Amino acid sequence: MTTSIDFTRNFARAIDLDSHLEEDPGALREFPLMPYGEACDMGHAADGTPLIDPRLFDSPEFFRNPYPYYRIMRDHYPVYHDKLHNCYYVTRYDDITDCYFDDEGFNTIPKGSSSGVLGNTQLELSGIEHRRRRNLYGQHLVGQSLQARIPAIERLAREMIESWDEKAREGVDYIHDHDGVRTVEIGKAFANEFPISVVCDILGFPKEARDRFFYWYNSMMSGLGGSATQKQGLEARQDLEDYLEDIVEQRRKEPTYLYGDNGEIVSKDIISKLCESKIDGDYLSTEEITSNIALIVGGGGETTRGAILNMLFLLLTHPEQFAAVKADPSLWDTAFHETLRHSTPIGGQPRHNTYDVELHDVTIPAGSLVNMVDFSANHDERIFEEPEKFDIFRKDLYSGKLLRSGYRKEGKCSHMAFGVGPHLCPGAWISHQEATIGARILCDHMKNPRINVERMPKDIDGVSLRPMGLVSVGTLWIDFDLEDSRA
């Protein structure tokens, strides 16, 4: 997994960078907000190689405009040792793929990154134990099981959109009707709650628990990573477990079901399925079931929300591609994959390496924190032509069935938004269905949709729309014509 990059040149660059930092050790640095797609000058090594100041990674400039800096890293520091944050970044598509599949060398997500709030999930396991726990619920989110849940996804999308008329009359702050036009902030009106409603439904939570479900989700997600809100996250998870205790005991005796549009039984809900599951001959405890549910809740919310908002934003800012998708609904799948390649809301996955690993003549000591930067892999020019360009018709992106093994044949490659290999996101398949179905039903409802530019956040020039950068679209205001739009 090494290349012929000259080690002495890397060492010289490291010395130059250290000297660069010692000019003002430990000080904060302001980085100028550059025209989008251009990198600021952080100095150069003696051989002309651009330097990377790790203080950049904490700056507004990097969050807003990351891709030119990832390009510098891919070209000059494919394995970058960030001494300030005590971690390593792997940024090239091929290297990240190899690392994801090396379940021995890069075997787990770092301990404690999720378990504090979510509980003992398989995220922090590897090998056989990881596979066994993953399959407990993964089997319910793919294939025929997933197909059986599509009617529920469609029904919930329609119900949310049909509620807009009443909410407009109530005067909510995110839906406004004026002169035959409805203005909607799609995040508050749909994308923020839709994926959580879907997860709540297919898990089998009672309808009266939906408001509490939003509290559990929002609190647990904000409490991840040892943040200042971790206490709230821990309290929410305990409240979830307390609530589930009685439900689990009931479902062990009397399972409940999901129903189709005509009232027919489609399948047991996931809580009922988990109550029947065993590990080593023993049924799962309530705590184990809660951990699995917490992981599904976390994986099925923010990712889908970001995919819906980013996809609509990108399509509406590329009207010829939006027109093509409207004319051919089969292109929603293609638009979803290109959105996740171009502007994924999922940045990457951290790993700890089991033993010393040498990659591109850089030795990563055993036990290091290694960040696999999916953002960068998706924009690797070695894989995707003109990667900064959003193009649902590109010839080098695979947009078929999501594969844990990834796809690389005949000049086409998978995007890396969900990762590949053993730890590919278990909610990838249902996120795909939620995002494409939700976006399609939204656009079928809205006549002549267009972005309300006046209400949208602006970039540094005060005119252009603010770029997404490392996060999904925060707010998305859309205008559409009311006449015949609700037929």
- Quote the domain boundaries for residue 28: 1-101+347-378
How large is the average pLDDT for residues 129-148?
60
Tens of pLDDT along 369-398? 999 999 999 999 999 999 999 999 999 999
Same domain, 431 and 351: no
Weakest-pLDDT range from 176-190, 273-287, 452-466:
273-287
Q: What average pLDDT does the chain have? A: 84
How large is the average pLDDT for residues 421-447?
88
pLDDT greater at residue 110 or residue 38 = 38
CB 39 within 8 A of CB 48: no
pLDDT at residue 86 greater than cutoff 80: yes
Same domain, 72 and 50: yes
Residues 6+ away with beta carbon under 8 Å from 214: 193, 196
Most trustworthy range by pLDDT among 146-155, 218-227, 436-445: 436-445
How large is the average pLDDT for residues 228-251?
84
Same domain, 53 and 176: no
Residues 6+ away with beta carbon under 8 Å from 83: 18, 54
Report the pLDDT value the prediction gives residue 29, as an integer from 0 to 100. Answer: 83
Same domain, 257 and 275: yes
Distance CA 221, CA 116 (A): 11
Same domain, 384 and 300: yes
Determine, yes or no, domain membership for 218: yes
Determine, yes or no, domain membership for 487: no
3-class secondary-structure state, position 343: coil
Residue 253 token pair = 């005796």
| Residue owning tokens 């949709």 | 449
3-class secondary-structure state, position 373: strand
**Percentage of the chain surpassing pLDDT 70?**
83
How large is the average pLDDT for residues 349-353?
88
Amino acid letter for position 128: I
Determine, yes or no, domain membership for 111: no
Same domain, 264 and 232: yes
Same domain, 13 and 52: yes
Weakest-pLDDT range from 196-200, 299-303, 306-310, 394-398:
299-303
* DSSP letter assigned to residue 279: E
Report the pLDDT value the prediction gives residue 242, as an integer from 0 to 100. Answer: 87
How large is the average pLDDT for residues 396-406?
90
Q: What is the CATH number of the domain that holds 177?
A: 1.10.630.10
Determine, yes or no, domain membership for 443: yes
How large is the average pLDDT for residues 63-70?
96
pLDDT at residue 134 greater than cutoff 50: yes
pLDDT greater at residue 343 or residue 232 = 343
Same domain, 367 and 342: no
Weakest-pLDDT range from 87-96, 321-330, 346-355:
346-355
Q: What is the CATH number of the domain that holds 355?
A: 3.30.43.20
CB 356 within 8 A of CB 365: yes
- Ranges of beta strands (E only) in 257-368 are 257-259, 265-268, 278-279, 282-283, 348-353, 357-359, 362-364
Report the pLDDT value the prediction gives residue 327, as an integer from 0 to 100. Answer: 96
pLDDT at residue 69 greater than cutoff 60: yes
Determine, yes or no, domain membership for 372: yes
Same domain, 50 and 193: no
pLDDT at residue 191 greater than cutoff 60: yes
Report the pLDDT value the prediction gives residue 9, as an integer from 0 to 100. Answer: 35
With bands split at pLDDT 50, 70 and 90, how would you rate the model's confidence at 14? very low
pLDDT greater at residue 208 or residue 6 = 208
Report the pLDDT value the prediction gives residue 142, as an integer from 0 to 100. Answer: 58
pLDDT at residue 88 greater than cutoff 80: yes
How large is the average pLDDT for residues 203-215?
82
Report the pLDDT value the prediction gives residue 376, as an integer from 0 to 100. Answer: 97
Same domain, 283 and 295: yes
pLDDT at residue 236 greater than cutoff 50: yes
Report the pLDDT value the prediction gives residue 204, as an integer from 0 to 100. Answer: 86
Structurally, how many domains does the chain consist of? Answer: 2
How large is the average pLDDT for residues 168-186?
96
Residue by residue, DSSP assigns 117-178 as HH-S-GGG--HHHHHHHHHHHHTTSSHHHHHHHHHHHHHHHHHHHHTHHHHHHHT-TTEEEE
Determine, yes or no, domain membership for 486: no
How large is the average pLDDT for residues 294-301?
67
Same domain, 328 and 340: yes
Same domain, 90 and 212: no
Q: How many CB atoms lie within 10 A of CB 251?
A: 21
Determine, yes or no, domain membership for 44: yes
Report the pLDDT value the prediction gives residue 129, as an integer from 0 to 100. Answer: 55
Determine, yes or no, domain membership for 50: yes
Tens of pLDDT along 256-274? 887 777 778 877 888 888 8
